[in-house]
Amino acid sequence: GQQVMQIPQYQHVQEGEDFTTYCNSSTTLSNIQWYKQRPGGHPVFLIQLVKSGEVKKQKRLTFQFGEAKKNSSLHITATQTTDVGTYFCAVNTNAGKSTFGDGTTLTVKP
Amino acid sequence: EPEVTQTPSHQVTQMGQEVILRCVPISNHLYFYWYRQILGQKVEFLVSFYNNEISEKSEIFDDQFSVERPDGSNFTLKIRSTKLEDSAMYFCASSEYIGPVNYGYTFGSGTRLTVV
């Protein structure tokens, strides 16, 4: 099945700094989804990317899908303390199996 | 905003006992899932379910696990003879569509299962 590697595992930033997490695969991905999980919470769907080279923005969050559809990134501009949590990428199969990356845990120092 | 509801929020059980975790998916969603997350680790797929059948299951979902939709609203995960390594947070999720373009899953708040 499709596997995704996510880096870095942890990222500590000062409030106001930018943050990026990367999701990489050795195979071409049909899609990529991004989720955020707050400490002690459940995954919350952020966005889905399906097209080669796709870029989507949600306020301070920018999501990209690589041209070869083998990688994706999530970039947060000017982090805030509300951004803390673990960000997961995930890939879906036709039958509903979603394979999650290991996640990047973001901490933001005020 | 519609929610996926899971009960109980915490369950402590003795090793070897059976547990049933319950979920009420979003009412117009047709596809249901169970995931688990061992503390500090990633979210792992267990099973997907549609039209009263399992669509796909992972290698984790062995014979001790079963799922059921006993009525029009509930979706359950049964673990027949719990083991210590079954201790995890179990998330139920649902979606309107299935496959690569499913517009994301809505996850419930989870049931923390502790096997002692």
Query: By three-state DSSP, how is residue A82 classified?
Result: helix
Out of B42, B56, B103, whose CB is closest to A88?
B42
Which residue is associated with the tokens 């890939």? A91
> Are the Cβ atoms of B100 and A43 closer than 8 angstroms?
no
Q: What is Dmax (Cα atoms) for chain A?
A: 43
Amino acid in position B89: M
Q: Tens digits of per-residue pLDDT, B24-43?
A: 999 989 899 999 999 989 99
Question: Facing residues of B90 across strands?
Answer: B36, B111
Which two structure tokens, joined as six digits, stand for A106? 């973001």
Average pLDDT, rounded, for chain A? 94
Whether the pLDDT of residue B97 is over 90: the answer is: no
The chain A residue lying nearest B55, using CA atoms, is A95
User: Nearest to residue B105, comparing CAs of B25, B9, B24, B10?
Assistant: B25
> CB atoms < 10 A from the CB of A47, how many?
18
Is the Cβ of A40 closer than 8 Å to some Cβ of chain B? no
* Distance separating the N- and C-terminal Cα atoms of chain B: 36
Report the pLDDT value the prediction gives residue A40, as an integer from 0 to 100. Answer: 92
> Are the Cβ atoms of B99 and A92 closer than 8 angstroms?
yes
The chain A residue lying nearest B35, using CA atoms, is A98
Report the pLDDT value the prediction gives residue B100, as an integer from 0 to 100. Answer: 64
Q: How close does chain A come to B74, measured CA to CA in Å?
A: 19
Strand duo A98-100 + A71-76: pairing: unpaired
Strands (E), A19-78: 19-24, 32-37, 43-49, 55-58, 61-65, 71-76
Q: Tens digits of per-residue pLDDT, A40-88?
A: 999 999 999 999 999 999 999 999 999 999 999 999 999 999 999 999 9
Whether the pLDDT of residue B99 is over 90: the answer is: no
- How buried is residue A103: exposed, middle or buried, by Cβ count under 10 Å (0-12/13-18/19+)? buried
Q: Tens digits of per-residue pLDDT, B46-91?
A: 999 998 899 999 999 999 999 999 887 899 999 999 999 999 999 9
For B13-25, what is the mean pLDDT? 97
Which two structure tokens, joined as six digits, stand for B18? 């059976």
CA A1 to each of CA A39, A56, A86, B95: distance values in angstroms, whole numbers, following the listed order: 29, 26, 23, 21
> Are the Cβ atoms of A96 and B109 closer than 8 angstroms?
no
Report the pLDDT value the prediction gives residue B12, as an integer from 0 to 100. Answer: 98
Which two structure tokens, joined as six digits, stand for A13? 């930033």
The chain A residue lying nearest B4, using CA atoms, is A42
The chain A residue lying nearest B100, using CA atoms, is A92
Cα dihedral B62, A5, A49, B94 in deg (nearest 10): 20
> Are the Cβ atoms of A98 and B33 closer than 8 angstroms?
yes
> Are the Cβ atoms of A101 and B55 closer than 8 angstroms?
no
> Are the Cβ atoms of B31 and A97 closer than 8 angstroms?
no
Out of B42, B45, B55, whose CB is closest to A101?
B42
Residue A1 — pLDDT band, cuts 50, 70, 90? low
